Chains A and B, each alone.
Chain A
């Protein structure tokens, strides 16, 4: 049995504490009124005067462009009844309000990006685990307890997600989702948005909240069931009845997972840009989270193996995980590019705004993400020998994980904070906070069960798993042939 070391526990608490402080600082620094923002903007303006002074036309043109691709906020409503005389003044007010909402969104978005990233990664570990059961794959059986332990993180992140969902939809504490603005669906309101109103059969606050909670319940129910029954499998000795039950439930879960994952990506990510839509999006989010999930499995496996906590795992298992990391990195790139290229090629304005917003204001993360998620892993993990060298996999994995964090960042931020984005204390704090929770839940869950799933009929095969061209370190050549 594995012992959750006190050092690691301290580290996780420290991360949670530092992260919580970072998140708190983010909320503390967010402006509380439009006046604050105006003051801040006048400070900024005075530092480069020539930008705004006497260039009303320029300001209007520039802001109009920004407004059209952010496609959020109440700003465009005010735009409609602007007279020619007071144009400059009222526009500046509108702009200040716009920036105010963006700055208010920033701590929420910082929290949301990390929350979604960790929730998604944990969820995809669960889905990958279910797929391994359904495929009756033998190689991964010795990794089952690692994957189960990682899914323990699903519980706290789901709870935080429910809190964030309720604070957005019921309590109206944040403006991340523009369509939750009062009057969006009311034709007599200045905030009326006909396009969103046309979709109100799907995006409406009660429906969204209920759906979100149902997704989380389904995922957590499966995790709770499979963890309990996987441990029961160890000692069941009932002619594989428990094993078969776990198989059947996993088939059912995968079916529900594919549906809920797709709808989750519409509700939680695409819902941030309610004027934009894409059919590929569910798959794209899936690919991004799946490659991160496999990397996380590889990381936890490599760490636990280095602590001698995983007796059955050999270099071939690491090699297979790295192969999956490599393959799904390419798969992610395929979907990313398919989505980008189809929209770029046809250049239909209502679709293109999405990428215009990202390309104009997020050029560095947007392009760096492709290098980190595609070019780097493809060159590093192409060689078969490198895939079984743990430190190589770790280096590749760190870049992949950072790359997919940036991916989620670029999915969320342009819709909520627009040009006001920055990777600072709130973002970093949220990342550390969820990392701390992850370390604590995962390793305490791993310490609670036998690291070898004894009752699994494929266990022997998994322990002798050997990829043909891998020379295992620390084993004689006679161990396999």
Chain B
């Protein structure tokens, strides 16, 4: 069985962290995770993370909302019970379309926004009563933590991380 030890390297500045990430990547070590108290501009690029596809999902959710609105207005106002309401032409959907645009717009936004947020929660595994995963409470305040899996190279990694300006380096068991 593979050892499940990881190194936790602490930094107290986002610029230093960013340079450290680049240095560790340059030595071809795998970075398991980086914990930050706030978004660090360019960290995803430095770590080589794939770009998010959340915007693409939102586009399709928006189209879904638009289709729903078109179907709903057409079914209710034109097909099911086409009444003459104040002289509005309910002979066909297109003829009365301007009156439906506010609904179409709002439902497009509604679907796109809410479904994208729910997608974000699901993909990020965030929900109420979810157990917090931060390995050290200081990472929510003023410290940055880089987590690197250990493969019999603790000493080499420690030297490298010390050189990059880590303020604290711990080897911990990961469960």
A344 to B59, CA, bound (A): 30
| B51 near A340: Cβ-Cβ < 8 Å | no
Contact residues in B for A340 (Cβ distance below 8 Å): 98
User: 1/0 contact trace for B91-130 toward A, CB 8 Å?
Assistant: 0000000110100000000000000000000000000000
Bound-complex Cα distance A345 to B41 (A): 48
* B25 interfacial by beta-carbon distance below 8 Å: no
Q: Beyond A337-B101, A345-B99, A347-B87: 9 further Cβ-contacts under 8 Å?
A: A341-B98, A382-B59, A468-B41, A468-B42, A477-B45, A481-B18, A481-B41, A481-B45, A481-B46
Contact among B46, B55, B98 with A345 in the assembled complex (CB-CB below 8 Å): B98
Could you show 19 A-B contacts with beta carbons less than 8 Å apart? A337-B98, A337-B101, A340-B98, A341-B99, A341-B101, A344-B98, A345-B98, A345-B99, A347-B87, A382-B59, A384-B55, A468-B41, A468-B42, A469-B51, A477-B45, A481-B41, A481-B42, A481-B45, A481-B46
Q: How distant is A168 from chain B, measured CB to nearest CB, in Å?
A: 35
A342: nearest chain-B partner, CB-CB = B98
Contact residues, A440-481 vs B (CB, 8 A): 468-469, 477, 481
Q: Please report the C-alpha to C-alpha distance between residue A477 and residue B25 in the assembled complex, in whole angstroms.
A: 15
Q: How far is the CA of A382 from the CA of B18 in the complex (A)?
A: 31
Can you list, as one digit per residue, whether each of A279-301 has a CB less than 8 Å from chain B (1) or not (0)? 00000000000000000000000
What does the 1/0 interface line of B120-142 toward A look like (CB < 8 Å)? 00000000000000000000000
8 Å CB contacts to B: which residues of A118-157?
Answer: none
CB-contacts of B25-79 with A (<8 A): 41-42, 45-46, 51, 55, 59
Nearest Cβ on chain B to A345's Cβ, whole angstroms: 7
Q: State the CA gap A469–B45 with chains docked (Å).
A: 9
Hey, which chain A residues are within 8 Å of B41, CB to CB? 468, 481
The 9 closest A-B pairs by CB, nearest first: A481-B42, A341-B98, A344-B98, A337-B101, A345-B99, A341-B101, A481-B18, A468-B41, A340-B98
What residues of A have a CB within 8 angstroms of the CB of B101 in the complex? 337, 341
Which bracket fits the contact residues of A? 10 to 19
Q: Which residues of A contact B46 (CB under 8 A)?
A: 481
Contacts of B51 in A (CB 8 A): 469
**Chain B residues in 8 Å Cβ range of A477:** 45
Bound Cα distance A337, B99 (Å): 11
A408-449: contact bitstring with B at CB < 8 Å (1 yes, 0 no)? 000000000000000000000000000000000000000000
Query: Would you list which residues of chain B between 136 and 153 have a CB under 8 Å from chain A?
Result: none
Distance (whole angstroms) from the CB of B104 to the closest CB of chain A: 11
Chain B residue at smallest Cβ distance from A340: B98
Bits for A334-362, please: 1 = Cβ < 8 Å to B, else 0: 00010011001101000000000000000
Contacts of A481 in B (CB 8 A): 18, 41-42, 45-46
In angstroms, how far is the closest chain A Cβ from the Cβ of B125? Answer: 24
Closest chain-A Cβ to B71's Cβ sits at a distance in Å of 20
- Cα distance A345–B45 when bound, in Å? 51
CA distance A107 to B50 in the complex (A): 58
**Docked pose: A344 CA to B101 CA in angstroms:** 13
Per-position contact with B for A349-385: 1 when CB-CB < 8 Å, else 0?
0000000000000000000000000000000001010
Instruction: List chain B residues, Cβ under 8 A from A347.
Output: 87
Contacts of B45 in A (CB 8 A): 477, 481
B contact residues around A341 at 8 Å (CB): 98-99, 101
Closest residue to A382 on the B side, CB-wise? B59
How distant is the Cα of A344 from the Cα of B51 in the complex, in angstroms?
45
Interfacial chain B residues near A382, Cβ < 8 Å: 59
A481 to B55: give the CA distance in the assembly, Å.
23
Closest chain A residue, CB of each to CB of B18:
A481
A481 to B44, CA, bound (A): 11
- A112 CA to B12 CA in the complex, in Å? 65
Q: For residue B45, give the distance in angstroms from its CB to the closest CB of chain A.
A: 7
Q: How far is the CB of A358 from chain B (nearest CB, A)?
A: 14
Residue of A337, A340, A347, A481 with highest tally of chain B CB at under 10 A: A481
Q: How far is the CA of A341 from the CA of B18 in the complex (A)?
A: 52
Which chain B residues border A468 with CB–CB below 8 Å?
A: 41-42
The interface centre, meaning the residue of B59, B98, B99 with most chain A CB atoms within 10 A of its CB, is: B98
A471 to chain B, nearest CB (A): 9
Q: Tell me which residues from 7 to 35 in chain B have a Cβ below 8 Å from any Cβ of chain A.
A: 18
CB distance from B124 to the nearest CB of A (A): 19
Chain A CB within 10 Å — which of B45, B51, B59, B101 has the most?
Answer: B45
A333 nearest CB across to chain B (Å): 10
* Separation of A345 and B46 alpha carbons in the complex (Å): 54
How far is B140's CA from A219's CA once the two chains are assembled, in angstroms?
54
In the complex formed, the residue of B with least CB distance to A481 is B42
- A191 CB to nearest chain B CB (Å): 35
Q: How far is the CB of B42 from chain A (nearest CB, A)?
A: 4
In angstroms, Cα B93 to Cα A53, docked, is 39
When chains A and B are docked, how far (Å) is the Cα of A244 from the Cα of B99? 49
CA of A384 to CA of B46, assembled, Å? 20
Closest to A469 in B: B51
Write the nearest CB–CB distance from B81 to chain A, whole angstroms. 20
Task: For B18, list chain A residues within 8 Å (CB).
Answer: 481
- Report the minimum CB–CB distance from B2 to chain A (whole Å): 33
Contacts of B87 in A (CB 8 A): 347
Contacting B at CB under 8 A, from A305-357, are 337, 340-341, 344-345, 347
**A-chain residues with CB within 8 Å of residue B98 when the two chains form the complex:** 337, 340-341, 344-345
- Taking the closest CB of chain A, its distance from the CB of B35, in whole angstroms, is 20
Complexed CA–CA distance, A469 and B55 (Å): 13
